[in-house]
Amino acid sequence: MTTEITANGTQLTAAFRGRLDTAAAVQTAEDIKPLLEATNREIILDCSELEYISSSGLRIFVTIRKSAAEHGCKVIVRHLNEDICQVFIMTGFISLFEIQ
């Protein structure tokens, strides 16, 4: 699992690649710290190469959303595959995020 964060103007993009499972969540939590410190930005969570997400991974997404709300940021989740989209629907996450 890798997480790559890039900045472009007022936009921060986190590209997730691989399986965001319990084992990967510890490192991913460290990798996303720039997102948690962002203020007044648009945060894009690019899931085009995310293969799997566990409850630990979902917790990371909620952490990003909560921090973004506290810092005046907007969070957009992009490119969910069909399986992960189903997880978002079943857990109610689909209503927590703007999905593109």
Going from the N-terminus, what domains does the chain have, and what CATH number goes with each? 2-99 (3.30.750.24)
pLDDT for position 83? 96
pLDDT, tens digit (0-9, with 9 covering 90-100), for 18-57: 999 999 999 999 999 999 999 999 999 999 999 999 999 9
Angle between helix 22-31 and 55-70 (nearest 10): 20
Chain-centroid distance of CA 54 in Å reads: 13
pLDDT at 42: 96
For the stretch 71-84, pLDDT in tens is: 999 999 999 999 99
Q: Which residue has the tokens 């190469």?
A: 49
pTM beyond 0.75: the answer is yes
pLDDT of residue 74: 95
